[in-house]
Structure 1
């Protein structure tokens, strides 16, 4: 659970164990609404930080609890009503390298909509420049690339399997088990990051991921937009370490492809390994 020092510290929640819960989301939402009702510059400044925190959690916990989701939406709506100006308009210019700028226009008719555009044929290294005429907007960039390079000498021995769990709906839930150890030709690793991607149409069960925090060998956990689970393991040696969590089917996908699992030495990115798994 989170610790709350004072009422005004609502936006400074930090989970003790590194895992956020729906209770944290719900509590922050209620306190944010109270800060907005109290008004005042200092309270609104704190509410703005709390709203930012709520937005960061929405992809992970919004659908875990209807009550927490409702409280979060109420807090976001209250903040929007309090800070909204019907006359506000913003123009965002994005310049990549020496190319001509891209322009995005934000006004009251589309301010809650996400606008996206794709930049092609970018030569690296390069620079991206963002300019906003006035007002406040949220910008997010993503880099997607393909690489044909391979790792001929993996530093880790990595294996992942997915075993179907008993269910009234066949194929709806699986247990994903990942085991990792050092390749005998490499020295031990103090800290490694494992990223387990989800098969198409499946999402991790948050409760089962949180259960992993009780393991002394796990340093940190993170559910990444319901598309992957990151697990940080300490002291990787030639002795195999394993962990498991559950996944459930959210959308039916015909002939789902295999999912990728990566492990990387946290302090030396050249030491890595990759494997794939399919649903059995």
Structure 2
């Protein structure tokens, strides 16, 4: 077990929470009687160990709420709030050993997946209180929802599949617990410092409809105002690409093509992509990691060679939308080499480099980016 002492109670709780929650004949889910036993260990030291991890506490609070054990739920929530981060009228939770975040970014980075997930479990612990959440539960849940909404991307998701599922579940339960039908419509007005102006009408008939507009000038100054009644969620989204400095990456990533130069007639139509990946961050190893290889224009991967990568270190591979995705169980400081073949599908002139990215699935702010070019990218015979 060693460093993974906290893994097993967390997994047990997750499995219990994933079981169907339909009430049994007695009126409560039968399986939830197992949850209190997780706290009744042989010694106080083991009980303290179980409750020493924020993620485990968040799971326990939700589990006790589902079980209808309000005393235990309150006890765990009290402990959680002693470790909460409170800023700008919001509340959330972080991990004790958090990977370093780049400080030179010009934007506010979104929280890592694990922090979104465990914060969402605390929302669920509040809104699942039985027989119904009290005003204090809803007040605290509102402060947490404010923070978690800021982590949502422009597609409505979060960092990973897992935190997206839990966070959306928490937001939907919060919405159900606080919903009131507005008698008047809410009108949102967006204006620029120039002549641009647009209005959105939000009422009961379209409250679930996504409405959006493109801002004509970026950068620019815009103001927003809301009149009427109801709750409106307003989000702005700006997309751009910046290549971070190589020495800041927590992964070491090198990409080469074989052949490296336009040597021989076959180099125009076929070559190999060789990837070398290792983890050089603050932890002994990464979590599950994904290598995303974008194809050079006009080339496609030879699927059998991609499939052959699936061995002990590679859990699975995918070919999707001109990308090859390689799922790694973990990445350590030992260099892992991955090689597959690509073929020319359509001749393209003046080929541009393509991007390769490796990132931690649960700590998406830990990543590395590199680029590669086709051996004959500068050769006029390419098209």
Q: TM-score, normalised by structure 2?
A: 0.38
With a CA cutoff of 8 Å and minimum separation of 6, indicate the structure with the bigger relative contact order.
1
Which has more strand, going by share of residues? 1
Which of the two has higher C-alpha Rg? 2
**Structure with the higher helix share, 1 or 2:** 2
Task: With the length of structure 1 as denominator, give the TM-score of the two structures.
Answer: 0.49
